[in-house]
Structure 1
Amino acid sequence: MELLFLGTGAGVPAKLRNVTSIALKLLEERGAVWLFDCGEATQHQILHTSLKPRRIEKIFITHLHGDHIYGLPGLLGSRSFQGGESRLTVYGPKGIKEYIHVSLSVSRTHLLYPLEVIEIEEGTVFEDEGFFVEAKELDHALPTFGYRVVEKDKPGVLQVDQLKERGIQPGPVYRQLKLGESVKLEDGTELNGEDFLGHSIPGRVVTILGDTRVCSSAVDLGRSADVLIHEATFNRDQEEMAREYFHSTTKQAAETASDAGAKLLFLTHISSRYAKESWEELEREARDVFPDTYIARDFMEYVIPLKK
């Protein structure tokens, strides 16, 4: 489970920060990549990484401002040209279906893979045996969502030593016990798989927010998250401007992380008004409130460690 920041800027592309896109690499967990937002030139950013567009399984759009969606039609088309054949699902606010349909239709782009577009509301927008994704509406100038990605707890490790002490050798029985099933041996002994499993392994939580003012939904989504990714368009002295433009400051992002009890905070969606020389200061502003803060940079990667 790894994060790859493809674009960390706000509004318009800049030389050192492209507009918003974040990849959540789930290659070990499900052999796939999930993308969050797809600003202009996201596919160009991907060219500088090892990420393969055909691996992209899901795209979660936070809102329909251009710096979050203008790269989407191009990426969808290129994925087809580059051998993508597996289903891709796009989630986003009302209007995302029309935007994609019109873009592909007018440009006569024909996809060689099944595309599903789901217009979401608050609540669980995806769930399977390994993950679920919850969405809540934030406070922005148009409908905007934040996403909470939850990895479900994994079963504990099979206690092989205990089985061998009882004379039970590796084989199909081990597989059944690892699944927590009950097994009857040839001598009539019955074993309960749960008796031979260690403690379950807690899943990880990643919260990725769209553009937003300070709001309770952001805190709810970030509750006890292993990683919270929060926009910080302005520095701490620009609270009035942040409110006027429906954004947040570095200090406000840090306060949200603190209120949520998150473990780690990444600041993103940095305004181009802040030159590279200012980035460390922006990071320090947030760290005064929430010490475990890092300002994201394009192509930064972070491996989310397994819990014990």
Structure 2
Amino acid sequence: MTLRVTFLGTSGAVPTTRRAPSAIMVNREGERFLFDCGEGTQRQMMRFATGFDVDHLLLSHLHGDHVLGIPGLVQTWDFQDREAPLAIHAPPGSRRSLENLIGAMDHNTGFPVRIHEVTPGTVAIDAEEYEIRTFETEHRTTSIGYALVENDRPGRFMREKAEEELGIPPGPAYGRLHEGESVELEDGRIIDSDRVVGPPRPGRSLVYTGDTRPVEATVEVADEPDLLIHDATFDDSEAGRARSTGHATAREAGELAARAGAKRLAMTHISSRYAGNPVSHEREADAAFDGESFVAEDGQTVDVPFPDKE
């Protein structure tokens, strides 16, 4: 039951030899979502072997370091004879700019590209087992964040109780009970699901803010997310610049992760001024957040387990 995050680009506005511009691949059960698409994203996808099979591109905002990889990636998909439609989800008012960006090289794609402007506080993708919610962020332009939140799963099936205490023979009845149905046994007894199935178990969740100041909407969009991916462009020494440019510091990201009850914090969009290992980011986040925190690196892969995994 895969939920895997691959950081394709973790730099701030300017790429470095170590970090590419913003792009994050999320693989859920083989379904891939690309969050932002900075310059060179398609090369990063090849370099880190994420695959190109993406149906949904979700953009936090339209600054160049988050979208300039789109034209090249779209053309590559065309060269590969892609036929499946591509859905691009973006903040309100983005459609015309994205159409111009994709058409800048006068290249007509052989597959449908559908642009969906999504409003903060709504659901961008409503699937059977999960949804991707949007929330308002605070940057120097219209921007949004995204939260992938899975549905609750059925509780654990108590096989020993079913077989030994209630005398339910193994077979199709077990599956029906686990799915919440009642079953009638050969002796006429009706067994309700809740007699052999424990309480629902939470699914997994991850939150991606894109570029933003710390905002309460990040706390509210998901209940204790398993992974929070938050802007941490600067450390405390540049707190004033973070405020003026619509970004966050590592300490602010840690404080917000603590308020949100996040299990883990991944800090990204690291300014090029921190060319070496940004140890100050980790130290400042750790001072504010008791959970696991780390500065994401290009190519780093993080698996998100179920909350109740033993």
TM-score (norm 2): 0.90
Contact 1:153/1:203 (<8 A) preserved: yes
Deviation, structure 1 residue 191: 2.1
Specify whether residues 170 and 108 from structure 1 end up closer, same or farther in structure 2 by C-alpha distance, changes over 3 A only.
farther
What is the correspondence of 1:112-261 to structure 2 with a 5 Å cutoff? 112-125=110-123, 126-165=125-164, 166-221=166-221, 224-261=224-261
Q: Distance in 1 between matches of 2:176 and 2:95?
A: 44
Deviation, structure 1 residue 77: 3.0
Structure 1 counterpart of 2:281: 282
Deviation, structure 1 residue 110: 4.3
What is the correspondence of 1:91-130 to structure 2 with a 5 Å cutoff? 91-125=89-123, 126-130=125-129
Contact 2:6/2:50 (<8 A) preserved: no
Specify whether residues 106 and 245 from structure 1 end up closer, same or farther in structure 2 by C-alpha distance, changes over 3 A only.
closer
Deviations 1:237-289 (Å, cap 9, x if unpaired)? Answer: 11111111111111221122122222211111001111114x12221122122
Specify whether residues 260 and 168 from structure 1 end up closer, same or farther in structure 2 by C-alpha distance, changes over 3 A only.
closer
What is the correspondence of 1:261-300 to structure 2 with a 5 Å cutoff? 261-277=261-277, 279-291=278-290, 292-300=292-300
Q: Secondary structure at the match of 1:293?
A: strand
Which residue identity lines up with residue 19 of structure 1 in the other structure?
P
Deviations 1:42-97 (Å, cap 9, x if unpaired)? Answer: 1110011221112x232211001010111122223323433544443221112432
Which residue identity lines up with residue 60 of structure 1 in the other structure?
L
Structure 1 counterpart of 2:305: 305
Contact 2:122/2:135 (<8 A) preserved: no
Specify whether residues 223 and 169 from structure 1 end up closer, same or farther in structure 2 by C-alpha distance, changes over 3 A only.
closer
Q: Distance in 2 between matches of 1:180 and 1:113?
A: 41
Structure 2 counterpart of 1:21: 23
Contact 1:222/1:257 (<8 A) preserved: no
Q: Distance in 1 between matches of 2:177 and 2:52?
A: 38
Deviation, structure 1 residue 302: 1.0
Q: Distance in 2 between matches of 1:114 and 1:192?
A: 47
TM-score (norm 1): 0.90
Contact 1:250/1:286 (<8 A) preserved: yes
Q: Relative to structure 2, which stretch is displaced further, 12-21 or 254-263?
A: 254-263
Specify whether residues 295 and 183 from structure 1 end up closer, same or farther in structure 2 by C-alpha distance, changes over 3 A only.
same
Deviation, structure 1 residue 188: 2.5
Deviation, structure 1 residue 175: 2.6
RMSD: 2.1
Structure 2 counterpart of 1:37: 36
Q: Relative to structure 2, which stretch is displaced further, 262-271 or 112-121?
A: 112-121
Which residue identity lines up with residue 120 of structure 2 in the other structure?
E
Deviations 1:175-225 (Å, cap 9, x if unpaired)? Answer: 322211122234332222232212322112211102112332233336522
Contact 1:53/1:82 (<8 A) preserved: no
Specify whether residues 82 and 157 from structure 1 end up closer, same or farther in structure 2 by C-alpha distance, changes over 3 A only.
farther
Return the match for 2:58 from 41, 51, 60: 60
Q: Relative to structure 2, which stretch is displaced further, 102-111 or 42-51?
A: 102-111
